[in-house]
């Protein structure tokens, strides 16, 4: 197996302390948002044999296994991250596979440069993802029941929100959510900025259920995403709990440290909390206007000690082992590729000692044993 040397991305919303604290190093004072583990061409992990992209390209079946190559092609189909949100991320959705293929083909036909700021589809893949909390983790996920959303908005006492309240009370669920989100995204910018300012003041004054939206408004004053965010469920994950975010589910991370895993894709359609491009027609094509519980996941334990986060997709499978002091080694050998990530304590993986934040890549079929006292996450695929 290969020890991984991973890139930390300095996005502006990143915490300045969370990843350095996990790694046991001094903060630089700069934001450190995501540490990438995998073979994404934007920042592939480095090994003693070259980048993980180069290692896999040299022998796809040997590194990934014949089953994974047959199902997903000659590339690692997931990207594993440590994500540290010090400020809210953009409110966003991801397309399903068919939508991604159609959108990518359409933008290619129209000759939109791949790096153009108004380009929606960087590739033809979908981007299901999951976040597993390492600390208390706040986010927004999926639509609230329209009546509950109406009550939340009405409680602010902001007159310009009343039309949204009336629609949410009067229409069927999907039509109400679609009409209100469309109205928010297409409202006059100056009028919306005024509404957001009034909303922010009310949220700050009221606190409680309104506190997360005061945070959004603090970081994004005047942004329509503050109002759009109030249509969504607020979720506070405890360490070890997770959220799965499938296609079309609007979401935003607010704060916290977690392990994130996703299909390898850069396709994001934004709804707000961002200065970046918002393509309203394409966004409305992709969003699933369905209210429901956000579905907090807790791992399901197996007899061998593996705790699995069950999801409905095959591009990734995330689990963890919490190893008490004195336990015998666990055999993790699989015929699929794996990344093993330590997040607490000290774990031995093969010949490698892993401290928190350190990881290894295990080629398909290579013997993999872990021991020690700590927590190790295991990322692989289902074939």
Is the four-CA dihedral 96, 378, 241, 211 of positive or negative sign? negative
Q: Is 270 a catalytic residue?
A: yes
Angle between helices 146-154 and 173-186 (to 10 degrees): 40
Q: What is the pLDDT of residue 121?
A: 94
C-alpha 308/C-alpha 263 separation (Å) is 17
Q: Is pLDDT at 171 greater than 90 in this prediction?
A: no
Per-residue pLDDT reduced to its tens digit, 312-343: 999 999 999 999 987 788 999 999 999 999 99
Query: What was the pLDDT predicted at 84?
Result: 98
For residue 160, the model assigns a pLDDT of 97
pTM of the model: 0.94
**Window from 240-244, 279-283, 326-330 with minimum mean pLDDT:** 326-330
Task: Look at 8-12, 284-288, 302-306 and tell me which has the smallest mean pLDDT.
Answer: 302-306
% pLDDT > 90, the chain: 94
24 CB neighbour count, 10 Å cutoff:
10
pLDDT tens sequence across 17-36:
999 999 999 999 999 999 99
Task: Name the DSSP class of 29.
Answer: S
Select which of 144, 270, 317, 320 is catalytic: 270
**pLDDT tens, 134-164?**
999 999 999 999 999 999 999 999 999 999 9
Work out the average pLDDT over 99-116.
95
**pLDDT of 8 higher than 80:** yes
- Residue 78 and residue 274: Cα distance in Å, rounded? 26
pLDDT of residue 328: 82
Q: What is the mean pLDDT of the chain?
A: 96
Q: What is the chain's percent helix, strand, coil content, to nearest 5?
A: 30, 30, 40
Percent of the chain with pLDDT over 70: 100
């Amino acid at each position: 197996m290969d020890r991984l040397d991973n890139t930390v991305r300095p996005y502006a919303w990143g915490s300045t302390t969370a990843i350095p604290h996990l790694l046991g190093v001094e903060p630089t004072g700069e934001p450190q948002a995501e540490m990438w583990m995998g073979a994404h061409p934007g920042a592939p992990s480095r090994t003693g044999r070259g980048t993980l992209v180069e290692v896999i390209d040299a022998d796809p079946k040997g590194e990934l296994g014949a089953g994974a190559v047959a199902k997903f092609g000659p590339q690692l189909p997931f990207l594993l991250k440590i994500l540290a949100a010090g400020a809210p991320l953009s409110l966003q959705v991801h397309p399903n596979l068919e939508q991604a293929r159609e959108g990518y083909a359409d933008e290619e036909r129209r000759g939109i440069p791949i790096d153009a700021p108004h380009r929606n589809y960087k590739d033809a893949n979908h981007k299901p993802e999951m976040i597993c909390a390492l600390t208390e983790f706040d986010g927004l996920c999926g639509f609230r029941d329209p009546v509950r959303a109406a009550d939340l908005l009405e409680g602010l006492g902001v007159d310009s929100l009343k039309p949204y309240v009336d629609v949410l009370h009067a229409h069927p669920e999907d039509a109400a959510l679609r009409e209100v989100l469309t109205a928010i995204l297409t409202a006059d910018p100056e009028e919306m900025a005024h509404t957001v300012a009034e909303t922010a003041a009310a949220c700050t004054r009221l606190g409680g259920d309104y506190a997360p939206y005061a945070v959004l408004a603090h970081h994004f004053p005047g942004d329509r995403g503050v109002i759009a965010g109030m249509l969504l469920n607020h979720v506070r994950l405890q360490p070890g709990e997770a959220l799965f975010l499938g296609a079309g589910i609007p979401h935003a991370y607010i704060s916290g440290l977690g392990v994130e895993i996703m299909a390898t894709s850069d396709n994001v359609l934004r709804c707000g909390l961002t200065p970046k491009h918002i393509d309203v027609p394409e966004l409305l094509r992709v969003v699933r206007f369905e209210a429901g519980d956000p579905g907090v996941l807790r791992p399901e334990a197996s007899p061998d000690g593996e705790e699995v986060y069950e999801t409905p997709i095959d591009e990734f499978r995330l689990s963890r082992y919490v190893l008490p002091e004195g336990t015998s080694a666990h055999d993790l050998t699989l015929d699929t590729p794996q990344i093993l990530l330590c997040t607490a304590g000290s774990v031995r993986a093969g010949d490698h000692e892993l401290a928190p934040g350190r990881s290894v890549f295990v080629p398909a079929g290579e013997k993999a044993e872990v021991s020690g006292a700590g927590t190790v996450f295991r990322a692989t695929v289902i074939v």
